[in-house]
Amino acid sequence: MNTDDEIEMEGILPNLLFGDGAGAVLITDQKDEGLWELNEPDCVLMDGETSSFINMRTKENGYYLNLSKELVPSLATALSQNWSRILKNLTKTSNTDEVEWLVHPGGKAILETFTRLEPPLSHSNLRHSLKVMEEKGNLVSATLLFVLELMLSQPSKEVACLIGPGPGVEVKFMSLNKV
């Protein structure tokens, strides 16, 4: 990430925090023991005009990112209005401790939003995301793959839920079941 004279103040912090990362996932139709099966995805759209909440553009020197201060409050509202539906439809439980939570660590404020939901995710539920945020920072899209890699190296549950941002702004969810 880079910054230049054209970036407003809202763009300085994201450009300091975000880095570059790459990752890949192999998806197959095999159902071997120990693998994870992808389930139907879901998403939550944020209300109102959100196109200015996350902006990334490419320039000659690299990527430039702006995050609006309205992102986290809008995310909190959208999640709180849809959280029970997400839990019921994707994880099939209301007990958050029965699920491996793989939340894109877009920043501390975003992760803290999940601790204020009802039922909340604890810091223990968010351990993989918090560890990746602490050790690698936010590597944009690839960050969630680093969280997934960490969980796969030490799985303790039979169900996992991936949560990451999407264009618009939306939040995408996908559950996984251990085969």
Q: Is 137 exposed, middle or buried (0-12, 13-18, 19+ CB in 10 A)?
A: middle
Mean pLDDT is lowest, of 2-6, 56-60, 171-175, for: 2-6
Give the Cα separation of 131 and 153 in Å (integer): 13
Alpha-carbon gap, residue 127 to 133, rounded angstroms: 10
Give the span between the Cα atoms of 179 and 174, in whole angstroms: 16
Q: Is 30 helix (H, G, I), strand (E, B) or coil?
A: coil
Q: What does the pLDDT average to over 78-101?
A: 92
The reported pLDDT for the residue numbered 151 is 92
Considering the entire predicted model, what is its pTM? 0.78
pLDDT of residue 167: 62
- What is the rounded average pLDDT for all residues in the chain? 81
Cα gap 160→145, rounded to integer Å: 13
